[in-house]
Amino acid sequence: MSTPEPPGGNPDDIVLQAKNLNKAFGAVTAAKDVNVAVPRGAVWSLIGSNGAGKTTFVNMVTGYLRPDSGTILFNDKNITGMEPRKITRLGISRSFQIPQLCAELTALDNMLVSLGSANEQASFFRSAHSADSVASATEMLERFRIVDYRHRTMAELPAGVRKLLDIAMAITGDPQVLLLDEPTSGVAAEEKYPLMDLVMEALEGANVTVMFVEHDMDIVARYSQRVLAFYDGQIIANDTPDHVMQDESVRRFVTGGAAATAGGASC
């Protein structure tokens, strides 16, 4: 892939910073002294075996979990422990490993809800939507090549489509930072690259900082400029994909030689 200027964005322009984050669940340490500074516009991946603390990191940054200690700065503003909704409004969006969609709504209605033109019961007030918002929602579904599913409810959607819809919804608010928790998990092997291509295309030119959790090291190498490797709640490596893959502790604790690189791992 082409090499952008400094790998992983401009280090003089830090959009997101985690300082000394700690989080425990009883005896389990889910985050231990996590420190990271993410440059604006970077595309980074998060790797680590199940239970390593990747989702905990995403949850803390997006307000779904409050760290026991430490600070999260977004554009130098302290967002630690803020409500998820407020963090989203500030400019940090996320998608989920298991898409969080309104089950009884259609794909189009879900998109309308996320476009902010809806409040609660989208199916009820769809008729009240402006033609503009329906056009924007439809355009977004087209961009992700899932427009043919617009009138289907979630139960009727294939897993890959649900995943794309959740990601498309995360992008609708024009986030500055986008965190994708295992965007390709549960997606058929041959659909993983097209899915990532669609996401990257949709973000082109928007200078969005992306952090995605991924188990497939080929995808990590292809789409991210830098990799954070998690183990036991700690970041054990923070470097380019090449370096991280050669790192001894990463080999020992994450990629495990032959093990753990296969796609589709879930947690």
Residue written as token pair 């425990």: 24
Q: Is 55 in the site for ligand ADP (CB under 6 A)?
A: yes
Which distant-in-sequence residues (6+ apart) come within 8 Å of 109 by Cβ? Answer: 102, 118, 122, 123, 126
50 binds, among ligand ADP, Mg ion, none (CB under 5 to 8 A by kind): ligand ADP
Q: How far is the CB of 23 from ligand ADP (least distance, A)?
A: 8
- In angstroms, rounded to a whole number, what is the distance separating the alpha carbons of residues 78 and 37? 14
First to last CA, the chain: 29
- In angstroms, rounded to a whole number, what is the distance separating the alpha carbons of residues 90 and 255? 35
Is-contact 226 239, C-beta < 8 A?
Answer: yes
- Interface pattern 13-32 for ligand ADP (x via CB under 6 A): ------------x--x-x--
39 membership: H or E segment, kind and range: strand 28-39
Residue written as token pair 């470097």: 239
52 binds, among ligand ADP, Mg ion, none (CB under 5 to 8 A by kind): ligand ADP
Q: Is 53 in the site for ligand ADP (CB under 6 A)?
A: yes
Is-contact 263 216, C-beta < 8 A?
Answer: yes
Q: How far is the CB of 15 from ligand ADP (least distance, A)?
A: 22
Q: How far is the CB of 138 from ligand ADP (least distance, A)?
A: 34
Residues 223-252 that bind ligand ADP (CB under 6 A): 230
Q: Is 267 in the site for Mg ion (CB under 5 A)?
A: yes
- Among residues 15, 16, 52, 108, the one that binds ligand ADP under rule CB under 6 A: 52
Q: Is 55 in the site for Mg ion (CB under 5 A)?
A: yes
Q: Where are the alpha helices (DSSP H) in 27-130?
A: 54-61, 84-90, 107-114, 122-125
Q: Where are the alpha helices (DSSP H) in the chain?
A: 54-61, 84-90, 107-114, 122-125, 131-143, 159-171, 189-203, 217-223, 241-246, 248-250
Q: How far is the CB of 151 from Mg ion (least distance, A)?
A: 32
- DSSP letter (8 states) at residue 113: H
Stretch of 45-53, 67-75, 103-111, 118-126 contacting ligand ADP, by CB under 6 A: 45-53
Count the neighbouring beta carbons within 10 Å of the beta carbon of residue 56: 24
Minimal CB distance to Mg ion: which residue?
55
Q: Is 267 in the site for ligand ADP (CB under 6 A)?
A: yes
Is-contact 14 40, C-beta < 8 A?
Answer: yes
Q: How far is the CB of 31 from ligand ADP (least distance, A)?
A: 8
Nearer to ligand ADP, 30 or 169 (CB): 30
Stretch of 46-54, 73-81, 137-145, 202-210 contacting Mg ion, by CB under 5 A: 46-54
Binding site for ligand ADP (CB under 6 A): 25, 28, 30, 48, 50-56, 230, 267
